[in-house]
Amino acid sequence: MQESGSPKGRGFVVAGTTPGTPRVLRAMNDRAALDLLLAHGPLSRTRIGKLTGLSKPTASQLLARLEAAGLVVATGTTEGRPGPNAQLYAVNATAAHVAGVDVTPERIRAAVADVAGSVVGEFEVATPGRRAESVVRQVTGALDGAAKAAGLVRGGLHRVVIATPGAFDPGTGRLRYASHLPGWHSPALLDELAAALPMPVEYENDVNLAAIAEQRLGAARDHDDFVLLWNEGGLGAALVLGGRLHRGFTGGAGEVGFLPVPGAPLVRHVTKANSGGFQELAGGQALPRLARELGVDDIPGGTVNEVAAALIARGAEAEDGPERRLLQAFATGLATGLASLVAVLDPELVVLSGGLLTAGGEPLRALVQTELGELAASRPRLVIGEVTRHPVLRGALEAALATTRDEVFDTSR
């Protein structure tokens, strides 16, 4: 899962130094320059030459070639600097657009990003339907709304990545591990979506996409081995091993809510119950019960997530009393499940993400770190996720951008 759209991992090739055809060498240098423009923003010809090691004439030819291909545009000059003003160049953000779709039982949220990574349109629809036909209408309605907000139509999107809980079984094409997602279990659903969407469509687990967002934009940058623990609407984990997402044989790797753990009843037939020991111990639904047992007064109203997040935030602000004891009990539950993951995977880093974990902030992180130090033999570093605005949706966009940039930026064809 090497970061795409960044110079990291890509060499700069000067013609004549590496075996290969001139076309291939030019394409490699073109891509290196485009990645630099994505990473740094507008650059002058001289700056691009210095960063790539290309001569000024070669850098000029490269920029002329990319401009003619519609991949870069002139954006202004280096005014205010000593010496003559130099022309600046930037990636042509309109060269391609991608979309991400984040699906939950309550709503579908879609966003469109240009090839430079800026979000240019968003839209959200409620999801009351239970039939596959209504799912197709909801997905296309969300996409159409986001495309319209971006000044586009559905057909102007180069690629879409759809995030759902659970995973689509690669053997059967049916959604697994997400019985709480109505309308998404028809065996014909993927074919119906493919017929309705004129662009390539990919499907990925929502927590895996949150991990992609953190590795490319947030707390897991430059880390090849980490676990992202997600707690919002359900407990899940993403496993990144050797720089790659580990999905498992059926796509179920990371479905840790089903994990049997000490301190929780043994849940059988977990897929029918759509829950398991870790979910019962440290999921959002456990917080109101814990609050009552510990004597927390004035338990707020709202959805399960809203109530849990409010209780956790109160515990993080309290120095002592029942609210603080609630936060400690929640941290112990989280560390109990994490200890099993750490024992098996020995990750370098654990990223805590999702609304319930970010609500606890640093106080919760510190408590979980301390508890995990007593429960696990290895001691990974725990951090709070940095991508806090729609991390699943942002990860879907990043995944779509990685593939689209490889396609659109390839000048060897």
We report the CATH number of the domain holding residue 188 as 3.30.420.40
Does 9 reside within a domain?
no
% of the chain exceeding 70 in pLDDT: 92
Statement: residue 5 has pLDDT above 70: no
Residues 260 and 357 in one domain: yes
Kindly state whether residues 123 and 152 are assigned to the same domain.
Answer: yes
Residue 16 is predicted with a pLDDT of 41
Say how many domains are in the chain.
Answer: 3
| Domain extent at residue 242 | 222-386
Q: Are residues 325 and 365 in the same domain?
A: yes
Q: Choose the final residue of a domain: 43, 67, 91.
A: 91
Residue 16 lies in a domain: no
- For residue 81, name the pLDDT band (cuts at 50, 70, 90): low
Looking at the domain assignment, is residue 215 inside a domain? no
Higher per-residue confidence, 266 vs 36: 36
Tokens of 69: 């291909």
Q: How many helices (H) and strands (E) does the chain have?
A: 13, 15
In percent, how much of the chain has pLDDT > 90?
72
List b or e across 318-335, with b for residues whose CB sees 16 or more CB atoms inside 10 angstroms.
beeebbbbbbbbbbbbbb
Count CA atoms closer than 13 A to 393's CA, side-chain side. Answer: 24
pLDDT number for residue 79: 64
Residues 265 and 343 in one domain: yes
Task: Give yes or no: residues 158 and 59 share one domain.
Answer: no
Gyration radius of the chain over CA positions = 24
DSSP 410: -
One domain, residues 293 and 144: no
Alpha helices (runs of H) in 229-354, residue ranges in sequence order: 270-273, 277-282, 286-293, 304-317, 321-345
Higher pLDDT among residues 380 and 128, named by residue: 380
My answer on whether 190 and 69 are in the same domain is no
Statement: residue 132 has pLDDT above 70: no
Q: What is the mean pLDDT of residues 207-218?
A: 96
- β-strands 381-384, 349-353: how paired? parallel
For residue range 245-291, list pLDDT tens digits in order: 999 988 889 999 999 999 888 888 888 788 889 999 999 999 999 99
User: Is 36 part of a structural domain of the chain?
Assistant: yes
User: In the structure, what pLDDT confidence band is assigned to residue 130 with cuts at 50, 70 and 90?
Assistant: low
Instruction: Give, for 51, the enclosing helix (H) or strand (E).
Output: helix 45-52
End residue of a domain, out of 91, 126, 144: 91
| E-assigned strand segments in 12-114 | 43-44, 72-77, 87-91, 97-103, 107-114
Q: Is the pLDDT of residue 12 over 80?
A: no
What does the pLDDT average to over 58-74?
Answer: 94
Q: Answer yes or no: pTM beyond 0.75.
A: yes
The Cα-based distances of 317 to 18, 297, 330 in angstroms read: 59, 15, 15
User: pLDDT by residue (tens digit) across 139-179?
Assistant: 999 999 999 999 999 999 999 999 999 999 888 888 888 88
Domain-located, residue 216 = no
Do residues 329 and 373 share a domain?
yes
Position 10 pLDDT exceeds 60: no
Residue 64 lies in a domain: yes
Mean pLDDT of the chain: 89
Per-residue pLDDT band for 83 (boundaries 50, 70, 90) equals low
Q: What pLDDT sits at residue 25?
A: 87
CA distance 235 to 338: 11
On the question of pLDDT at 370 being above 90, the answer is yes
On whether residue 252 sits in a domain, the answer given is yes
- Mean pLDDT of the region 328-353: 96
- Residue 136 C-alpha from the chain's centroid: 23
Identify whether residues 198 and 253 lie together within a single domain. no
| Whole-number pLDDT of residue 9 | 37
pLDDT number for residue 80: 55
Do 247 and 297 belong together in one domain?
A: yes
The pLDDT of residue 273 is 80
pLDDT band at 47 (very low <50, low <70, confident <90, very high): very high
Domain boundary among 32, 57, 91: 91
Question: With 80 as the cut, is the pLDDT of residue 316 above it?
Answer: yes
Same domain, 181 and 243: no
Task: State the pLDDT confidence band at 301, using cuts at 50, 70 and 90.
Answer: confident
Residues 58 and 191 in one domain: no
CATH number for the domain harbouring residue 45:
1.10.10.10
Per-residue pLDDT at 344: 94
Min mean pLDDT across 89-93, 204-208, 302-306 is at 302-306
Which has more confidence, 341 or 82? 341
Q: Is residue 334 part of a domain?
A: yes
pLDDT at 3: 36
Report pLDDT for 60: 92
pLDDT recorded at residue 146: 98
In the numeric block, the tokens 């119906």 are attached to 192
Higher-pLDDT residue of 99, 21:
99
